[in-house]
Chains A and B, each alone.
Chain A
Amino acid sequence: MTKRIEDLKITENTRLNKDIFILGLSGNSSLPEMRPGQFAQIKVEGSPGTFLRRPFSIHDVDYERNTFRLLIQIAGDGTETLSKLRKGDTLNLIYPLGNSFSVPEKNKRILLAGGGCGVAPLLFLAKYLKSHGLNADILLGYRNSERIIESGEFSAIGNVFIATEDGSEGEKGLLTDHPLLKKESFDVIYCCGPVTMMKTVAVYCRKRNISCEVSLENLMGCGIGACLCCVVETTEGNMLTCTDGPVFNINVLKW
């Protein structure tokens, strides 16, 4: 898949909660084909402390309207600056980058498990699977109800289950404690979220022989496989999160 470096226009900047917002983007030319799990490297202008680009998962793609969306959590000066962008502003991106989640065979029981802003790549994945005739259950974990990232789009695609640490919505507790995981038997789990959560899901999957892919978020320099900074230790030696990943099957990870 050809990578591009391109100036895109902001079509939308929607605040979902205190820390999380969605940027909609559109260009003059038609969008390249993108796959769920892939990411974009954004150049943040107007933030002197942000020297390198910042990687963000592709959250949603609408080829008909020639737009796609990124789900971004404010975590520092760079993302703070991005949160202030307005419709019509320009943003420079390198995209689409990285590999993508695999598409399972028909009749597999699929779960998408996302924690916090780790839900970002899962909306695109859910829609993509749906377009391939595959249904997935969606389990989302948040700290509390105020952190929920859901504008009805997940529930339009599949059954959504929520866990919050304080019980303010859905089941009380961590995503990995949700009764769904005890009740149902899945064949495939796709997971993105905090590393501790993904590791717990990986252990759960190993015990039950469930195929599991996780999306990692290591610190990146370039995003295109040149700087070798974003390495992850695997059974096949050091691999790059940016080009060998960000999606890894847990079988290759030393978790």
Chain B
Amino acid sequence: MVNLGFSIGDLRFKNPVLTASGTFGYGSEFDDFLDVSLLGGIILKGTTLEPREGNAYPRMAETPSGMLNSVGLQNKGIEFFEKNIYPRVSSYNTNVIVNINGNHIDDYVGLAERISRLDKIPAIELNISCPNVKMGGMAFGTNLGATRDVTRAVRAVYPKKLIVKLSPNVTDIVSFAQAAEEEGADSISLINTLLGMAIDTGSMKPALSTITGGLSGPAVKPVALRMVWQVARSVRIPVIGIGGIMNTRDAVEFFLAGASAVQIGTASFIDPGVSLKIVGGISDYLSSKGFSDIKEIIGIINRQGTGKS
């Protein structure tokens, strides 16, 4: 029997496969395809204080080995979440984590306070990396001072597990991860989408209504893997790897690079059952390599030397 469990502090996860915010709805969209409770956890759709309609259509464009989106955090707001979604997701027997977003620090603080009162939500993911909103979002995650301020402010009001989701749209990812750790984050997740764009040569117009959007899918995986590797060897808290993971092999790469867990994102659009297949796949991989615990392979590439003397 292979041990796949991991922890953020005293919060236990039965396995290291979670679903990424904005790619898994509120879980129920996937009930026909897998037993959500068998996943390590699910990160729910980005939630804001007030309802948001999101950006205008078109908000998606397919690109080589990936896609751009500019959904813009469409959601019905925290009140709707508390009344209508929370009762439903509470029945999942896994860690249900809310991804929170705001225009101002006060928004994040307000959301964190309200969500801390929800018994069945053991953690929040602080989204300071959404590229598709005019205010807030990535503006926090690409400014070191703002990253510190928002993390510190939320930490002060939120006693449960705080995961900070980083933006890849920075020059030095390590400094952002360390800033979040110093301000009290319990875990780092990365990467959110890479800012990109596409143009329709037929209509001679941008493919997205917002012109730019966030790139996800296999196209971003090498970038994500590099950043996860850099961050994992620079912080002491668990790192959750995200970015273009389509299958078991991709997920394993992130563990070898130092991630304690992974989130499956865009892949769920193509195969809604893929996250659970990856749970089984990781177990098979470890057995085939003669390991009994996933911890044995986390960051293993750092222990083997880099090929340089």
Contact = CB atoms under 8 A, between A and B. Distances in A.
B74 interface: yes
A94 to B, nearest CB: 7
Interface stretch (B23-31, B175-183, B280-288): B23-31
A200 to B, nearest CB: 21
Given A51-B62, A226-B24, A231 B29 contact: no
Contacts of A231: 54, 57, 59, 74
Question: Which residue, of A52, A218, A219, A229, has the highest number of chain B Cβ atoms within 10 A?
Answer: A229
Contact of A5 (B24, B59, B66, B273): B273
Contact of B54 (A50, A53, A219, A238): A238
B134 to A, nearest CB: 17
Contacts of A94: 272
A4 interface: yes
Contacts of A222: 268-269, 272
Interface string B206-250: 000000000001100000000000000000000000000000000
Given A2-B32, A238-B53, A52 B59 contact: no
Nearest to A53: B270
B150 interface: no
A5 B22 contact: no
B166 interface: no
Interface in A51-94: 51-53, 94
A226 B30 contact: yes
B71 interface: yes
A229 B273 contact: no
Interface in B34-58: 45, 53-54, 56-58
A227 B32 contact: no
Q: Is the interface of A mostly helix, strand, loop or mixed?
A: loop
Nearest to B52: A238
Interface in A209-253: 218-222, 224-233, 237-238, 243
Contact of A225 (B29, B65, B273): B29
Question: Which residue, of A230, A237, A238, A243, has the highest number of chain B Cβ atoms within 10 A?
Answer: A238
Contact of A52 (B58, B67, B74, B273): B67
Contacts of A230: 57, 60
B271 interface: yes
26 contacts: A4-B32, A5-B33, A48-B64, A49-B64, A50-B62, A51-B63, A51-B64, A51-B67, A51-B217, A52-B62, A53-B270, A219-B61, A221-B60, A221-B67, A221-B69, A222-B269, A226-B23, A226-B25, A226-B30, A226-B268, A227-B23, A227-B69, A231-B57, A232-B57, A238-B74, A243-B29
Interface of A: 2-5, 43, 48-53, 94, 218-222, 224-233, 237-238, 243
Interface of B: 22-25, 29-30, 32-33, 45, 53-54, 56-67, 69, 71, 74, 217-218, 268-273
Given A3-B32, A52-B269, A229-B58, 9 more contacts: A51-B65, A51-B218, A221-B67, A222-B268, A226-B268, A227-B23, A227-B60, A227-B269, A231-B59
